[in-house]
Amino acid sequence: MKIGITCYPTYGGSGVVATELGIELAARGHDVHFITYQQPFRLTGREVGIHFHEVAVTTYPLFQYPPYDLALASRMAEVAEFYKLDLLHVHYAIPHSVCALLARQMLAARGVRLPFITTLHGTDITLVGQDPGYLPITKFGIEQSDGVTSISDDLKRSTERDFDVYGGLHGPIEVIHNFVNCDVYKPDEARRTELRPQYAAADEKLIIHLSNFRRVKRVGDVVEVFARIAKQVPARLMLIGDGPDRSIAEHLALSHGIEDRIHFLGKQDSVQDLLPLGDLLLMPSEMESFGLAALEGMACGVPCVATRVGGVPELVDHGANGLLYAVGDVEGMAAGAIEILTDRARLEALATAARKTAQDKFCTTRIIPQYEQYYARVSVQ
Ligand code: GMT
């Protein structure tokens, strides 16, 4: 098929999922066209079967806010007509659903059919989408979509409840979970031997946190939990990512006197090279509609200590392949982490189970065909 994909191309879960989906679809012989304001960060620009169409936003002194949405809708229609796309797949409802709707209408007026699918990722429903300024139009964009997918059962339920979309949809919301390529994200002993000494001594545990450092990630809790771990277990913390709350983490590290035990790596392109170096991943988020970072860690054989929110329990089974706690339960998370970090056999059992969960339930080989089947259904509707 010829598929147009629109997403936020910068660091963030929805962009990662959209980009990895494009890569996997292209590897299966589909022609994939990314229509975004910059090349998605996980693409090199040299992938076979992947094309990138930049959306240029013209500014004018009259525009206090340059109309990106219009430029995107216009480019979607142009690319779809020129390359004869079978469908558009937009990731993150705001504003992409409404842009796709405009593109569909522009082409319909010229006798060209362009169905579009919206994938809901989380904060487009649970946070930003709740804003009264965005809710009505986001609901409209979702209802007008030819198909809607959600990355977890929990997000599907939240959308149905908070957006009251039952009647307006073309069909039920299809749950297609986040996925990971288990051949790329995998335990890697050679890499551990080569790279781990840069970040932790042989007798130290390496704890990892990976996020965009937004408020919802509770990066402060990451440092609080680590401070408690570091009092009892020789350990280092690797923070991957950057964002508004990085300075909170830096401030807390200084106040606990543990700044020399923390590696602030900033944004990283190849997290698959870093995750296998860890022993445990911390994800104490206020909300996660799925928790892709945890899945990527699990595929690398790194179990997580996380919060019992949103779709995380669809991935993490407390005590079996990771540990779950209430939001803000810093003491509980620290105690759980210390317990498993000091019990080698238990840590290994969790690591093995985490990898197995990723392989059995969330591997690309299992999830990508679900998208292909859904595309086929929607494009013939
Ligand atoms: O977590 C973020 O801030 C990024 C956000 C996004 O939309 O880019 O992530 C959401 O989508 C990810 C991929 O589907 C999910 O794994 C994350 O759980 C979800 N984040 C939240 O729900 C907070």
CA of 15 to the centre of ligand 1 (A): 9
Instruction: Tell me the pLDDT band of 10, cut-offs 50, 70 and 90.
Output: confident
What's the CATH class of domain 189-361?
alpha beta
Residue nearest to atom 5 of ligand 1 (CA): 13
pTM for the model stands at: 0.95
CA of 11 to the centre of ligand 1 (A): 10
Q: At which residue do the structure tokens 């910068």 appear?
A: 10
Q: Which CATH number fits domain 2-179+363-380: 3.30.70.20, 3.40.50.2000, 3.90.1150.10, 3.40.50.720?
A: 3.40.50.2000
Q: What number of other Cβ atoms are within 10 A of residue 48's Cβ?
A: 7
Q: In 3-state terms, what secondary structure has residue 15?
A: helix
Would you list the domain boundaries of the chain? Answer: 2-179+363-380, 189-361
* pLDDT value of position 180: 97
Cα separation of 10 and 14, whole Å? 9
How far, in Å, from the CA of 177 to the mean position of ligand 1? 12
Express each pLDDT in 196-251 by its tens digit: 999 999 999 999 999 999 999 999 999 999 999 999 999 999 999 999 999 999 99
Prior bond of 95 cis (ω within 30°): yes
Q: What is the mean pLDDT of residues 38-45?
A: 88
In whole angstroms, give the CA distance from residue 249 to residue 254. Answer: 9
Nearest Cα residue to atom 20 of ligand 1: 288
Nearest CA to ligand 1 atom 12: 13
Distance 257 CA to ligand 1 centre (A): 31
In angstroms, the Cα distances linking 348 to 225, 294, 345 are: 21, 17, 5
Q: So what's the pLDDT on residue 127? A: 80
Per-residue H/E/C for 105-174: HHHHCCCCCCCEEEEECCHHHHCHHHCCCCHHHHHHHHHHCCEEEECCHHHHHHHHHHHCCCCCCCCCCE
